[in-house]
Structure formats: structure tokens, C-alpha cells
Structure 1
């Protein structure tokens, strides 16, 4: 019943729109006829004005000839008379009468007569709701419809720019990032990002070393001891290390490994399997020196890892996830002696200790050669829960689960540094598109700064971000497939280390965001239909003066 009522309502509105469209066309044609008549009258008025001017001029010349017959040439009068006689009537627009439409007070009969009239005079009724309005009215209605129904106002240039931004970022990823490498094989942006992390760790290690020496200086009792410590502080600030070599004290440049060494010494934690598993008492399935950062949840550089690190340090336990997907908490000794005082003080000390230990591991250990094993991407350890799948990773690992695949990726060098390198192209197209959006909204449309802020909750910006993410991932996946050589035994191993995972994550998020936006918009449209359109329709149809 409800659907039938809605269909009848829509049909009635369509018929009314057809009648209005025909009336609008008749009025438009009548206006054209009136304009044609005005044009004809103007032409005739111009003809009469020119003729009267010529005749007045002829009479004046004739009068002069009569007054001075000897001085005037009759040929001029004859020439003027010939011009007056040869003046032709201008071409006038042909005007025909417009046949009016029969009028009926019966609705069905009126609809039938209207359709017959439209067919006879070739009036297009395919889009009656548009044809019933003038051009000016259509512009005004379009603005109101866009605002009321929250329609997208994107044009071809917007879509073209969004796709181009994604393509540019895709080529940046293919050329400057490429495949993720382990150890000293890193190149391009990955190598640059690794160096940036090394520099950060080096500076932080210097800072901690200077803080430790300053603390010693404050406790020193003699001036000579204080001066010696000050000399050491000055050397650290200058980036110099005094070391013993072949029984002699030599000075060399401070390196990343020196910073890591000091951080490892003064930021010890009980959950560090690299130093606390010597007796093999933990028995965590699958744990080894090259994956203990992955399986130790406190080593995750995120708020979750911070929380686990604080709890582990205060409780004297360590939290691990084995490669069987099971989480275990093991009692360990608190190797850090700084935790003391009340609970708030201990939490503060645990936070500082956790961050210092994270910095000691994020760029590899002090004894690692080359790149070293860093820290896992936030959330990567959770993939150990996915103990299913049959993935042909390589000839050596022909049948691995998703959990095993994620572990192999970490061992091959996919850590926070690699993730950061892959994140750069994603930030490129996001930045380009958001800057373009702000420029167009603020400078082109003249919106204020608040309305021009490129927040992706806006449906139009979210749509453009999806286009950019899609074009970026298209280039990225195509490059990964070509580089991995489909059909080769190492295809999966090479593909997963080449494809840009942050880009795929962003594409998935943007897809979900757009689906959510469209579902919300559909509900908004249904609400407008129920509360606005039908109410207005019922009001119009119930008014006897309308029909």
C-alpha cells in the first residue's frame, strides 16, 4: 500500500510537471513571437524615420531651387527623388499565431490533452521537472538542491587533480622507495629514512650521556673530579669518544652505536629478551634474537606498547606473544634500579625508561652490523594471532600462515623505519590534495578559513582522497607485480616487500569512509523525502485553489 501510494504520488507530480513544462514552453514561444513583432516594428520605425528625413531634405532643396533657380541644379533633386522612390521595405520576421491548448477541468482529461498538445508541437517531456523552469530558475534551484540534499559539487578538474596527485606519489614510491631491503642493502628513501633515525638516536644518546655525566658532576666532591667530568661532557657535546686501542687512548667520532650502547646500559628493562634469555628460562615459542622485538609487546612503539612496558616494569613480569599466537606473561627480575617512590613516581620513571629503551632498539642494537633489526610497526605483533593460510612465500617457505608471513617480513627488514619510508609517498598525495582543496575553497569559492580547513569528514574531500589513494595503489601494485616477476618462486617474497602497505591501508580506510558517508547520505535523503517532499506534495494536492 505504501509503495502504491508513493507511485501514485510520483505519477501525479510528474503529470503536473508535464503540464507546467508545456505551459512554460507556450509562454516561451509567445515571448519569442512578441520579440519578433518588436523587431519588425523597430525595422518599420527605422524605415519611416529614414524616409521622412529624406523627404524633408528633398522639400528643403526644392524650396531653395525655387528661390534661386539660376544657382541650383535640377539633377540633385532628381537624384534625391530617385533615392526616396527606390527605398525598399526591410526584411521582416514572419509571425504566425500560436495554437492554444484546450482546457479541461477533469484531471485525467487535462493530462491527456496536455500530452497530445506536446506531441503535436514536438515539446520534449522526457525531463518535465527540468523543462518546467527557466534557465535563471534552474540555476537558483540547483543551488538550493545542492545545499538541501548535500550533493557533491566536484568537477572534472577536481577528479583530474586527485588522480594526478596519486599518480605522482605512485611514481615517487616506485622510483625512490622500491623494495624494502634488509641490512646494508637499503637504498633511496629507505636509506635516507634509516639515516634520519640513526641521527635521532645518536642525538638522543648524546643527550642521555650528558645528563648522566651532569648527574655525576653534581655528586662529585673534589674540583678535579668535577673538571674531569666537565671535560668528558665537552667531548660528548663535540661528538668525540675516548677509547682504548692497543693499550693507547685514542679519540674518534661519536657514532650511533655509542649512543645505543649508553641507552642499553642506562635504560635496561626486564622484558628485553636479548639480555634476559641467556638461561633459556622463558621458553617463548619461536623467539630468536632477530624477532624478539616483534614478540615482545612492550617493544611496540605505540601507546599500547607504552602501557605494556609500564605494567611489565612495575609488576616485574614480561609480556610476549609466541609464534603460536599465544600471549604469555613471564616473571622476570627488574634489572632497572630506578623505579622507586610512590606509584606516580614509578610510572613516570617507567615511561622514561620505556622510551629510552625504545630509542636504543629503533635503529638496531649496538652490536648489529649494517642496518640492524629495528622495532615492529604498531599493531604488527597482532598478526601473530592469524594462525591460518597457505601462502607460497618462497621455495624455502612454501606453505606459511599469515602470522609466519608477517614474521618473515619483519626479519627481512620491514620495521618502523621501512614503514616510515613507505609512508612518505602517501603523505605526498595527501598533502597535495589537501592544499589544493584549501586553495579552491578559500580563494576560488571565497569561503572562510574554518570552512576551508581540509578535514576528510567532508564528503567531497573524502571522495577525492579515495580517488588519489586508488590511483596511487594502482601504480604501486602494478610496479610490485612487474618487479616481482609473476610465476617466479620468489614472487610473493618480492611482492610483499615492494607493495606499499601504508597506501593499501589508506585505500581501505578511504573506501570504508566513503561507504559510511554514502550510507549516511542515503539516510539523509530518505529523511528529506519523508519529511519535506511528501509533506509539501500533500499540502499542494490538498489545496483546492491549486488545480
Structure 2
């Protein structure tokens, strides 16, 4: 690589010359260099903008509206969700599940004969999807051995749990005509549970399919209680609490001692289930959380939409730009608002549950009352938001370093552009190109090689050791041999 200096009234122009594939190459066009530098500036601006978009841009009104949404939904949770048996929204949810049960029964061939009786539909499904593990503790040995009764058998019976472990035990019980329960921290198996049960199917795949169908169909039949239930009935347990059974099963299967804490949590889950905390009520708790989610996203979108139409001229409006300004999903601002909203909701919900836990405990804390009123969906949604906030903050901290570097790089490029503009004023680019072209086609470097060859011959250097051209010089210095 060499450097060529061209002097003009105490001003020097530095050009870079490189050798590529045996030929000389020059960075010749100032205009081209300017275009490349400006493109780099554009890329740096995009990098800085994309990093800055990671930060939420909430104003005071955003925070106020988000907190108000959380407070409103918290009030809905206190007065309209409450706890099982005292829930106006729960009554609506129970009715919805009852209708879905009768719809499923009709789909399976049940004829209501104009009665539209829920108990009749449940009885039909129980007969159609017969299983061997439906001991209810009424007049059978299970009531004495397992402490089973109609208020807890859906929870204690593992195959009644709406989980993967529940499906596993349902298939196992149907293949072996057995029944598995959790009672007192023990995993108990009842052999030959139903002498009349026979799993349909001619081979293993067909039996597996029938076992799955029986499990699913029987869960639907138990969704709104059993056929003999009076009143609301005991539905299937909440999947957010059946994990207490799973822990005991796994520990017993691995010969790990079940701790007192495991037993206490399992007993707590059974107690709140007996109070009516089943999958239906769990669904009811999701309603105010869902309303909170929708309300915050809607408020965010409406505010940005109004601002967009107020600040954007009609000629420049477009759907893509409007969506970019208003979309309420991936924007970090709406995510921050959701964190505030769900945080406010949980503060109100946990506060109400705690107060009622102490009031009903008569001076002591009543954990059953607390968890009956604690909205687990709300706590779970807040946990997701907090996880997102922490993850986003870590990303912002890393991005801050990139912003600092990008801004420094941008400053260097801007100074470089200013220098190029100064050169473009001192030199006409066309003349510069002509100058470089003239140098490329000149014989200057060729004469230099020829003179060095002549000097070597006069000094009697062997002909096979003389480097006669540029290619031989390159080969020599790169470790090759003179050929």
C-alpha cells in the first residue's frame, strides 16, 4: 500500500492506493465516499432509534389511567367475584359451564325430551364414559379407607385431575381396573375397583383412544358436579391447585419423604376445594384480570390514535404509520402500563383477602379464607409483567453501552463527512478521477522494476535469482520460490 500526495497551495490530498489481484486500485471518488458515509450515518441513526424504542414512554396520564383500570377491576374482583357461593359473576360462570355440559351431552346423543335437565345430561355422560375410579365414599370402603366423600373425591382421585398426571392415572386405572388416590400424604391404590368395568378396544391403540375419550368425557360430566349433586355441586378441581397432588405422587414414586409442608399445602388445597373453589370459580377469577388487560390496551390505543390524527396531516396519514403509533401489543409503553394496572389490581385484591383472612380468623389468620379470595390469575399475570420488566431493564442496560458507542461512531463519521465536503470544494471530483487514471496508466512503476533488473545483471546476479516483475516480488515476500 502506498500514499500519493498532491500539493495545491499548502493543501494536501491524501489518497489511498492498494494492490488487488496484481493491479493497483484507488479510492478515487469523493462523492462516492460521501454517499457511503451518509449511508453509515443513516444506519447508526436507525440503531440508536431501535435501542431507544426499548424504553417505555409513559406520561403521567398513562400512569393514572393504568392505575385507575387496576383499581376498577380490583373493585369488580371484591364485590362481583368474591369467593365461591357469594359470587354474582360466579353464578353466571356456573350457568355457562352447565350449558356447555348439556351441549356436549347432546353432541354425544343425549335427548333432553324438553326438560333440559342438567342432572339428566350428567347421568347420560357418566354412563357413556364409564370409568372404574369414581368411588365417591358413599356406602363403599373408600369412605373409611381413604376418607372419601362427595365433597372431596374429585380432588383426591388423581384421575379426576385435569392435568397430564391426571390423564396418566386415568389411562392406568382403566387398563388395570384400579383407582389411585391421595389421602393424608399417601399415594393409595385400590385394586379391582369396579368389577363391571371393561375398557373397550380390540388392540392397544384403540384401547388408548377409548381410555382418553373416557377420561375427557367423564371430566366434562363432572364439570358442573355429579348427577346426584344438590345445589351447585362439586366440579373438577382447579389445575392451579392439583399440583399439590402431583408433588406427593412424584415424591412417593421416587421414594422421597413427603414433608409436613407438602401435606399442609395439600390439605389447604382440599379445604378450599370443599368450599367450592373448582375450575368454574377459577375461570370466574380470570374475568376481572381479562377486563383489566383489555381496558389498558384499549386506553393506550385510543390515546395514541387521537394524538396521531391531531398531529399528522391528512396527506401523510397511512394505516401502517397509524398502526405503528397505536398498536397496543409489543410496545414497551403499554407493557409498563399493564405492569402498573395489574400491580394495582393485586394490591387491592391481596389487601382485601388479607383483611378478610384476619376478620374470619377471630384474631388469627385464616389461610383458607385468604386463598379463597386471592385471585391467582391476577398474581400470575403480575408475575409475568414483572418478569418482562426485569428482562427489558437488563436489555436496556446492555443497549445503553451500544448507544454510547454508536453516538461516538456517529460523531467520527460526521467529522469525516465534513472533511470530505471540504475536499470536494478544493478539488473537482472529475479532475481527481483524471489524475488517478493518469497514474494508473503511467509506466512509472514499470520503469522502476526494469532499472532494478538491469542493476542486478550488471552486478552479475544469477539470472534465476533476479526478480523481474511485481508477481515474482510478491511470490518472494509471501514465502514462495523464484521460478
Q: Indicate the TM-score class for this superposition, using the shorter chain for normalisation.
A: 0.5 to 0.7
Q: Which residue of 2 aligns with 1:479?
A: 352
Are residue 362 (structure 1) and residue 231 (structure 2) matched?
Answer: no
Task: Please give the residue correspondences for 1:168-187 in structure 2 after superposition, counting only pairs within 5 Å.
Answer: 168-181=72-85, 186-187=86-87
Q: How many Å apart are 1:358 and its aligned residue?
A: 0.5
Does residue 291 of the first structure (1) align with residue 152 of the second (2)? yes
Is residue 2:369 matched to residue 1:488?
no
Q: How many Å separate the matches in 1 of 2:129 and 2:238?
A: 21
1:194 aligns to 2:56 (yes or no): no
- CA–CA separation in structure 2 for the residues paired with 1:404 and 1:255: 34
Q: Equivalences for 1:222-371 in 2 at 5 Å?
A: 233=111, 236=112, 238-239=113-114, 253-274=115-136, 278-280=140-142, 284=146, 287-314=148-175, 316-324=177-185, 326-327=186-187, 331-332=191-192, 336-337=197-198, 339-371=200-232
Answer yes or no: is 1:414 the counterpart of 2:281: no
CA–CA distance in 1 between the matches of 2:97 and 2:117? 13
Separation of aligned partners in 2, 1:539 and 1:152: 29
Give the corresponding residue for 2:391: 516
Contact 1:205 1:258 in 2 (8 A): no
The worse-fitting range, judged by mean Cα deviation, of 445-454 and 412-421 is: 445-454
Question: What are the ranges of 5 or more consecutive residues in structure 2 without an aligned counterpart?
Answer: 1-43, 249-257, 309-318, 420-483
TM-score norm. by structure 2 comes to 0.62
Cα distance in 1, alignment partners of residues 285 and 339 from structure 2: 18
Tell me which of the two structures has the higher relative contact order, counting C-alpha pairs closer than 8 angstroms and 6 or more residues apart. 2
Q: Return the index of the structure with the highest Cα Rg.
A: 1
Distance 1:497 1:366 in 2: 26
- Once residues 341 and 450 of structure 1 are traced to their aligned partners in structure 2, the CA distance between those partners, rounded to angstroms, is 58
Whole-Å separation in 2 of the counterparts to 1:209 and 1:539: 76
Which residue is 1:464 aligned to?
337
Q: TM-score, normalised by structure 1?
A: 0.55
Determine which of 293, 308, 314 is the counterpart of 1:430.
Answer: 293
Q: Say which of 262, 265, 268 aligns to 1:402.
A: 265
Check conservation: 2:138, 2:149, Cα contact below 8 A: no
**Greater Cα shift, 503-512 or 257-266:** 503-512
Distance 2:327 2:160 in 1: 36
How many residues get paired? 352
Deviations 1:511-537 (A, max 9, x none): 2222222223323334444x5356567
Instruction: Using the TM superposition, give the Cα deviation of residue 169 of structure 1 relative to its aligned residue in structure 2, in angstroms.
Output: 0.8
Determine whether 1:381 maps to 2:242. yes
Q: Deviations over 1:327-366 (max 9, x none)?
A: 4565556765453034443333223221210112111111
Q: Could you tell me how far apart the structure 2 residues matched to 1:151 and 1:310 are?
A: 50
Q: In the TM superposition, what are the counterparts of 1:508-547 in structure 2 within 5 Å? A: 508-529=383-404, 532-533=406-407
- Deviation digits for residues 434-462 of structure 1 (CA, Å, limit 9, x no counterpart): 2334445667556465886543x543332
Are the equivalent residues in 2 in contact too, given 1:257–1:367 (CA < 8 A)?
A: yes
CA distance 1:542–1:204, change in 2 (3 Å): closer
